[in-house]
Structure 1
Amino acid sequence: MATEAHGAEETGLVFHPMDQFMVTPLSGDGPVNWFTFTNSALWTSFAVGVVFILLVVGTSKRAVVPGRMQSVAELAYGFIYKMVEDICGKEGVKYFPYIMTLFMFIVCANFLGLLPTAFTPTSHFAVTIPLALLVFLGVTILGFVKNGASFLGLFWVSSAPLALRPALALIELISYFVRPVSHSIRLAGNVMAGHAVIKVFAGFAALTIVSPVAILGITAMYGLEVLVSFIQAYVFTILTCVYLNDALHPSH
């Protein structure tokens, strides 16, 4: 077995597609503590920096004829604003800044993670679960503050036959508490899976016999990941809008 493993290493067959998701300290090889500045913290900071540059610095001049950065910022602003308005109505527009920030952070983190040797913070549940929990807790508290006990009408399907309503209420209650789980796993799982597949193709690219096929696979997967990076940020944001709408208008 040792000989086989050694031979595999020599031919380039030994690769670890999950190594790219390891959180490591930037200095030294010690354990990762809460105060340790890691590769995850670094690339999270980069994502926040890109959002700041794009939305604050890029729009600071407010030119009548916008430059490239201002055009991108305005396009993103209009895209998310229309999403919030269409799903939540005028009442939901006041929560637009949070939703816009959420979208921009996720999409920037996803795109930065496609750079060579980069780290993708959104591939970790340690990032996506807090984001999902903030949305879940926020809309739940908002629902009770805005509607009081009427918020519980979200779980009572009044349009269904009376005999089925208790069972449907239980199903609605379970599905409601599953929201942060599905919300976080969907984002992290899709980002992680795509990056792992690219790494697998990259490992096979070292073998001469399959190198052209592997390179084609990398190119195709990379193009797909560019699309997935945007789609997953969009899905996370649109689900946030749907949950917000439930808090604002809880009755079925």
Structure 2
Amino acid sequence: MIIDFHTHIFPDEVAERAVSGLLKGLESCGLGFPVTMYSDGTASGLIRSMDTAGVDISVQLPVATKPSQPDSINEWTEGLREKEPRIISFGAVFPDETAAAQLERLAERGFKGIKLHGDFQGFYADDPKMLDIYRRCGEYGLICVHHAGLDCVSPKDIHVTPERMARVLDKVGGVKFVLAHMGGNCMEDEAARLLSGADNVWVDTSYTAGRLSPEKMAELIGRFGADRVLFASDSPWNDPADNIRLIKETPLSEEEREKIFCKNASALLGIFS
């Protein structure tokens, strides 16, 4: 079994516009390589890519970039449960004065977690206002997924760094954090140095598996511990099939691969236990 812990989709009626806008934003960053979309950004498009790659379940991570968005996003994602049982949708939260009520509603409606993106939502990981959000996530049993490290929309002002997250961990306990991109995109060594060993932190392999060598990925996985690493593609920006290949080419034991591909995510999500 393979669980992809980091994907993005949009309602059918806005998917083309949303993907096109994000694609233009990525292209304007001057990444130095062409940006390719690997699905059309819809739920059915994700399912097709999952079938091609051999992914059994995907976690989709919506981000509310405006205060007006969480309710409509969460109503849509809640409606996906029966239509697409292979997609587990996390909730969208905007970190403002309504966040406490938003989190309570998500917990009542059975969501398993939330996705936060400091670069798009305008917060730093260790902002005082965020600490209450984390504590409430812990209280409600909601997993908190962060975009971590560099994002080309804000390359000179990284909002969620390993150093900031280390300060958060000193102040807040009882909440399960997933830090995307091996704990910090382009900051993986710092993440491993500051965050490995924390019993409430997991990291995912999205983007880093394609950017780092197999040997470097194996080193980082060893530093974090294979129990703390989740397979992730960041579809539609990356190809799930290619990311599966990259993890299979990383020098790991079969037991370690099984943990990364499914066992860790299954335990964290509380499914198939």
Q: TM-score scaled by structure 2? A: 0.24
Q: Return the index of the structure with the highest Cα Rg.
A: 1
Question: Would you tell me which structure has more strand in proportion to its own residues?
Answer: 2
Question: Would you tell me which structure has more helix in proportion to its own residues?
Answer: 1
Q: TM-score scaled by structure 1? A: 0.25
Task: Pick 1 or 2: higher relative contact order, CA cutoff 8 A, min separation 6.
Answer: 1
